[in-house]
């Protein structure tokens, strides 16, 4: 009996392992009628599956991609043409069963075709995009100027009313210990730890709390209560630091990606500005 044994292979969007069973001893490859001869025929076909030809160009392109994607494997020409034949057999069977005519499949094919077109456009237009060191350094300086990397170490006493918070401030002005008051009076989860919040960046806190920290001096407490959605806070700023920033040379690749992304976004905006676009909310009768 003829035998065609195939290794694990990727068919479009899923992995499929295909084995054709056999009886008896192994037979030579020339006994497999569905396997192409190692040369093209008079029509230029390298292999044929029913009435569909696989050209030598088809084979060479598939083989090149296959070997590049799995360079650790040692695929023979026969391994590769067997996989191509199996793929074509399955494609033909899917068409025979009417799968290609189903609306859901047609839509999936359209989406995949669109993605292939987009990927090709983006690759051809931007894959070789490169920026000079001067441009990268300018982006590096810009990002540093925009980012507040300061970190704070603080404690707080959380109370439900402004009057309660003012009363705590009066006690602090009189020399009371902040940690002791936090343990005794704070209604926040950090109370058992004396209101300790550890080290954090200001932007991880709610805006009023972060704003208050920005104007405070080290080892000082807020002299007026700070209101947030959680209640009223009395804050003690214990320390402040600015972590060392990564060196320019260490982030050049990230900067290259950032500038490339910015360029792509600008390209999309140009396309939008030169096109007629109607958003869903502009259609009459829409519920959006």
Domain-located, residue 282: no
Please, are residues 111 and 75 in contact by the beta-carbon 8 Å criterion?
no
Band (284; pLDDT cuts 50, 70, 90): low
Domain-located, residue 133: no
Domain-located, residue 221: yes
Residue 153 has pLDDT above 50, yes or no: yes
Give the mean pLDDT of the chain: 85
Q: Are residues 30 and 90 in the same domain?
A: yes
Domain-located, residue 40: yes
Q: Are residues 88 and 14 in the same domain?
A: yes
Residue 273 confidence (pLDDT): 95
Residues whose CB falls within 8 Å of the CB of residue 235, separated by 6 or more in sequence, listed in order: 154, 155, 156, 209, 212, 213, 216, 221, 222, 226
Residue 77 confidence (pLDDT): 93
Specify the DSSP element, H or E, that contains 121.
Answer: helix 103-126
Band (195; pLDDT cuts 50, 70, 90): very high
Query: Which of 200, 220, 241 lies at the terminal end of a domain, its last residue?
Result: 241
Write the pLDDT tens digit of every residue in 19-76: 333 333 333 333 333 444 445 566 668 999 999 999 999 999 999 999 999 988 899 9
Max CA distance (Å), the chain:
103
Q: Are residues 93 and 160 in the same domain?
A: no
Domain-located, residue 74: yes
Paired tokens of 250: 């260490």
Domain-located, residue 51: yes
Band (193; pLDDT cuts 50, 70, 90): very high
Q: Are residues 157 and 228 in the same domain?
A: yes
Mean pLDDT of 260-272: 96
Residue 88 has pLDDT above 90, yes or no: yes
Band (285; pLDDT cuts 50, 70, 90): low
Domain-located, residue 116: no
Q: Are residues 178 and 96 in the same domain?
A: no
The torsion angle over the Cα atoms of residues 110, 114, 120 and 121, rounded to 10 degrees, is 150
Residue 136's region, left for phi above 0, alpha for psi from -120 to 50, else beta, is alpha
Helices 252-273 + 133-146 axis angle, to 10: 90
At 219, which CATH number? 3.10.50.40
Residue 17 has pLDDT above 50, yes or no: no
Write the pLDDT tens digit of every residue in 172-185: 999 999 999 999 99
Count of domains forming the chain: 2
Paired tokens of 26: 């192994």
What letter does residue 44 receive in the DSSP assignment? Answer: S
Write the pLDDT tens digit of every residue in 96-119: 999 999 999 999 999 999 999 999
Residue 268 confidence (pLDDT): 96
Query: Which of 64, 80, 101 lies at the terminal end of a domain, its last residue?
Result: 101
Q: Are residues 96 and 163 in the same domain?
A: no
Domain-located, residue 270: no
Q: Are residues 16 and 77 in the same domain?
A: yes
Q: Which domain holds residue 20?
A: 9-101
pTM: 0.55
Query: Which of 44, 66, 101 lies at the terminal end of a domain, its last residue?
Result: 101
Mean pLDDT of 149-170: 96
């Amino acid at each position: 009996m003829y035998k065609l044994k195939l290794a694990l292979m990727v068919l479009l969007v899923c992995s499929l392992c295909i084995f054709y069973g056999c009886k008896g001893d192994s037979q030579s490859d020339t006994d497999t009628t569905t396997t192409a001869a190692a040369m093209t025929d008079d029509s230029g076909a390298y292999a044929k599956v029913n009435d569909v030809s696989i050209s030598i160009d088809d084979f060479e392109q598939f083989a090149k991609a296959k070997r590049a994607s799995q360079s650790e494997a040692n695929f023979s020409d026969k391994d590769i043409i067997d996989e191509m034949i199996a793929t074509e057999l399955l494609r033909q069977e899917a068409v025979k069963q009417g799968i290609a005519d189903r609306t859901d499949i047609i839509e999936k094919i359209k989406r995949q075709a669109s993605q292939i077109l987009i990927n090709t456009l983006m690759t051809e237009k931007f894959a070789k995009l490169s920026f000079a060191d001067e441009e990268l350094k300018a982006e590096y300086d810009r990002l540093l100027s925009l980012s507040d990397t300061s970190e704070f170490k603080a404690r707080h006493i959380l109370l439900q009313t402004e009057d309660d918070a003012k009363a705590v401030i009066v006690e602090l002005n009189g020399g009371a210990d902040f940690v002791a008051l936090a343990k005794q009076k704070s209604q926040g989860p950090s109370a058992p730890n004396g209101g300790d919040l550890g080290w954090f960046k200001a932007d991880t806190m709610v805006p009023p709390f972060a704003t208050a920290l920005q104007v405070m001096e080290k080892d000082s407490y807020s002299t007026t209560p700070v209101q947030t959605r959680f209640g009223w806070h009395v804050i003690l700023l214990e320390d402040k630091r600015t972590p060392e920033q990564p060196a320019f040379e260490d982030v050049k690749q990230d900067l290259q990606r950032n500038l490339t992304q910015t360029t792509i976004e600008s390209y999309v905006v140009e396309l939008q500005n030169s096109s007629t676009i109607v958003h869903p909310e502009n259609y009459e009768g829409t519920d959006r």
